[in-house]
Amino acid sequence: MNGPVAIILAAGQGKRMKSEKAKVLHEVCGQPMIRYVVDAARGAGAKTIVVVVGYAADQVEDYLHHEPDVLFATQTEQLGTGHAVKTCRPLLAQYQGPALILVGDEPLLRPQPLADLLRRQQLDQAACLLGTAALADPTGFGRILRDSAGRFLRIVEERDCTPEERAITEVNPSCYVFELPGLWDALDQIGTGNVQHEYYLTDAPEYLKAMGRKVRALNVLQPDDILGVNTRQHLAQATAIMQSRIHDHWMTEGVTIVDPRTTQIDPRCTIGCDTVIYPSTVISGVVRIGSNCRVGPFAHLRDGTVLDDDVEVGAFVEIKQSRIGKGTIVRHLAYLGDADLGEDVNFGATAITANYDGTQKHPTRIGSRSHVGAGAILVAPVQVGDDAVIGANAVVTRNRHVADGQTVVGVPAHPLEPGRRHHPTRVPDGEDAAAR
């Protein structure tokens, strides 16, 4: 077993979510919460990650099962966080070393403070090092009790707090590093003598201390990092914070986001510099956007979209699983699915690829400098060569191959008679170039 290991608690139902879905699979910026926690643990240096599953365990395992460093421990009854950690014992029986313990419903955790905790625990040779945070409003969290010299004493759950303890603002965000196998001894000691009659992991540090082991609490976490999602309201708050981190990142990289409040960008998306994202744009899934593109307003770029440099995608355009070549314009009301467009293509207003026949998806290929007229429908699979012209409202039917330089018009699309062939000139900067 490669260390350090991480244990992520994710067996609880999250009753207040009122959901049949496992709580940790609810999405923040298009990805399940557990994704971020697993990535943070990995980013902090964890080499093996044990996820404790219980409620809707199969859903969580389905989501993570292809990740080779992730193992699962099943907690059939949710008897508390201490009990949840104990379910990992058989898997980790042979392991000696640090275990980073996190909860799956804190998606805003970042790797850096967790890496710091791991490093400090090794330096201090502590049996337990817990990360803490100071919150203006500590409601909902366990409180950190210290003695008059500031040394860690114990964690008190909010439900078990006296009024004085309740006033403490230093909280337990459930980010711990415990040395194994020492933790197992402490977990054997904890009981259920608390308001909830549960096995509390939060009792373990106190037991280790009582056994004469070194236990430290370090205030290394930021309030934003530890937002715990227990309700749909928390989910929206976490999404807003995560989204502003993503915006910040891309603005720092030279991307203009005209109105961050209405712009949604998936964490898996990449964007080149000098690209401008106009308001009310939604970018979801793995999307790659080149430099100097203009996207939106009101554009929807979905999974598998690749925009090369200098591409323009305008209002009410939806694109999924498609590559759009350099300099191509898709300016108004269009749908592209499973398409590959060359360079400097003009894809007209309300033109679409009909990529789905009810059972299967089919590809569309459009060569460079081709011009797809307004309202055209390309019933995939379709191939359009370079420098071709599709007339306005033409329906290019399934398996058609429009040759290089050819013009087709009508329903179903057919070549324009000789002598009537025309070459529309592109108006590079004209506002209505793509509309024609």
Which one among 3, 80, 367, 381 touches ligand UD1, defined by CB under 6 A?
80
Shortest reach from residue 290's CB to ligand UD1, in Å: 39
Judged by CB under 6 A, which stretch of 80-88, 109-117, 180-188, 232-240 contacts ligand UD1? 80-88
Which one among 46, 201, 319, 390 touches ligand UD1, defined by CB under 6 A?
201
Catalytic choice (83, 332, 362, 371): 332
Shortest reach from residue 175's CB to Ca ion, in Å: 13
Which one among 6, 11, 49, 70 touches ligand UD1, defined by CB under 6 A?
11
Shortest reach from residue 87's CB to Ca ion, in Å: 18
Which one among 228, 260, 297, 385 touches Ca ion, defined by CB under 5 A?
228
**Region 276-295 residues binding ligand UD1, contact defined as CB under 6 A:** none
Shortest reach from residue 196's CB to Ca ion, in Å: 13
Residue 436 to residues 90, 229, 375, 376, Cα–Cα distance (Å): 68, 49, 9, 11
DSSP-assigned beta bridge partners for residue 238: none
Q: Strand 323-324 and strand 414-415: pairing?
A: unpaired
Looking at beta carbons only, is 106 or 308 nearer to ligand UD1?
106
Query: E strands, 220-338, where?
Result: 256-257, 264-265, 270-271, 276-277, 282-283, 288-289, 294-295, 300-301, 306-307, 312-315, 318-320, 323-324, 329-332, 335-337
Maximum pairwise Cα distance, the chain: 96
**Residue 172 interacting partner from ligand UD1, Ca ion, none (CB closer than 5 to 8 Å by kind):** ligand UD1
CA gap 430, 427 in Å, rounded? 5
- Cα 242–Cα 33–Cα 75 angle in degrees, nearest 5: 155
Rg (CA), the chain: 28
- The DSSP result for 333-395, as a single string, is S-EEESEEE-TT-EE-TT-EEE-B-SS-B--EEE-TT-EEPTT-EEESSEEE-TT-EE-TT-E
**Region 159-198 residues binding ligand UD1, contact defined as CB under 6 A:** 171-174
Shortest reach from residue 163's CB to ligand UD1, in Å: 18
**Residue 201 interacting partner from ligand UD1, Ca ion, none (CB closer than 5 to 8 Å by kind):** ligand UD1
Catalytic residue status for 332: yes
Site of interaction with ligand UD1 (CB under 6 A): 9-12, 52, 54, 75, 78-81, 83-84, 103-105, 141-142, 155, 157, 171-174, 200-202, 228
Catalytic residues: 332
Site of interaction with Ca ion (CB under 5 A): 228
